[in-house]
């Protein structure tokens, strides 16, 4: 996967998230009032976008900051690569548990949590790609 594909996927998921946000805002469900639905929308959007950008930019900034000490920088780079794989694996576990919970409880609005998980996975993928590409 390339950075362009990851960014294109990020944009596509953001458009889908915008549509889901409009649906959640307009259609009342599970006896949530309007302010509660706005809170759900803010959580989905902020979680998706912030996790994507923070995971894909912050570790790289830390590595640039460590440019003077090569041994620490190499160790930190390897640690971030391993952490990015761990983040992706954890997100897959959380996605499966969210889907399982939705199937058991039939509360489909809980699927909105998958939007945040997708932002985390895309951010970790972008970070991993950039770390493996940089020397």
Q: Is the pLDDT of residue 134 over 70?
A: no
pTM score, whole prediction: 0.84
Nearest one of 130, 43, 41, 115 to 84, comparing CA atoms: 130
Domain that holds residue 24: 3-133
Q: Could you read off the pLDDT of 14-52 as tens digits, one per residue? A: 999 999 899 888 988 778 888 988 998 998 999 999 999
Q: How far apart are CA 17 and CA 11, in angstroms?
A: 10
> How many residues are recorded in the chain?
135
Nearest one of 125, 110, 1, 129 to 52, comparing CA atoms: 125
Number of domains in the chain: 1
């Amino acid at each position: 996967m390339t950075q362009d594909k990851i960014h294109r996927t990020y944009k596509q998921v953001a458009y889908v998230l915008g549509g889901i946000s409009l649906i959640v805002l307009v259609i009342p469900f599970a006896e949530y009032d309007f302010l509660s639905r706005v809170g759900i929308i803010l959580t989905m959007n902020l979680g998706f976008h912030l996790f994507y950008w923070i995971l894909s930019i912050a570790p790289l900034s830390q590595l640039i900051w460590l440019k003077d000490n090569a041994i620490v920088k190499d160790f930190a780079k390897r640690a971030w690569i391993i952490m990015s794989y761990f983040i992706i694996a954890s997100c897959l576990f959380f996605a499966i548990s969210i889907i399982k919970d939705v199937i058991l409880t039939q509360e489909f609005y809980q699927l909105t949590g998958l939007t945040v998980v997708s932002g985390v996975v895309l951010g970790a993928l972008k970070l991993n790609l950039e770390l493996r590409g940089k020397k």
